[in-house]
Amino acid sequence: MRGDRIFGLVMIFAALGYLLSAAGIETSFLSDPIGPRVFPYIIGGVILVSAVAMLLQPDPDADWPRSAMLAKLALTLAVLILYAMSVRPLGFIVPTMIAAGLLSYQISPRPLPAALTGIGLGVGLFVVFKYALGLGLVALPRALMG
């Protein structure tokens, strides 16, 4: 119970900091009517409500994961950190394929479906983000793109 309350309190401060930083997002006079602050406000609000709920109603019988699960979580964290660091130099598709494939393999340790998931997500997400949402992503490393 104490761990849930401590985590809830930490997340309240994190959500308030997130909301405060979202309030500093500048809008141009040509932005849409909703503006760029709405999505960060929604995320911060959900975090804040969840943290308050965790603070007020902690789980009395929290089971902490065993060492094997902690190792998997540490590996997942390392993959996500390396992914974030590699997107800029390597482009979007290759790091996304590798990260999605590794995380898929962790969920279900079957190499072929994990590889196909990585390939599908790498290419599919690039198409959605680049062409449907209009984000300025680079597909491959700049050295290969010329």
Shared domain for 74 and 52, answered yes or no, is: no
pLDDT tens-digit readout, 38-91: 788 889 999 999 999 988 888 777 677 788 888 999 999 999 999 999 999 999
Pair (46, 22) in one structural domain = yes
Q: Which domain holds residue 31?
A: 2-56
For residues 43 and 97, membership in a common domain is answered with no
In tens, the pLDDT along 80-112 reads 999 999 999 999 999 999 999 999 999 999 999
* pTM score: 0.64
Verify that 9 and 30 share a domain, yes or no.
Answer: yes
Count of structural domains, the chain: 2
Instruction: Report if residue 145 sits inside a domain.
Output: no
Whether 138 is covered by a domain: the verdict is no
Are 99 and 128 in the same domain?
yes
DSSP codes joined into one string, 61-110: TPPPP-HHHHHHHHHHHHHHHHHHHHHHHH-SHHHHHHHHHHHHHHHS--
Residue 46 shares a structural domain with residue 15? yes
CA–CA distance, 91 with 73 (Å, rounded to integer): 25
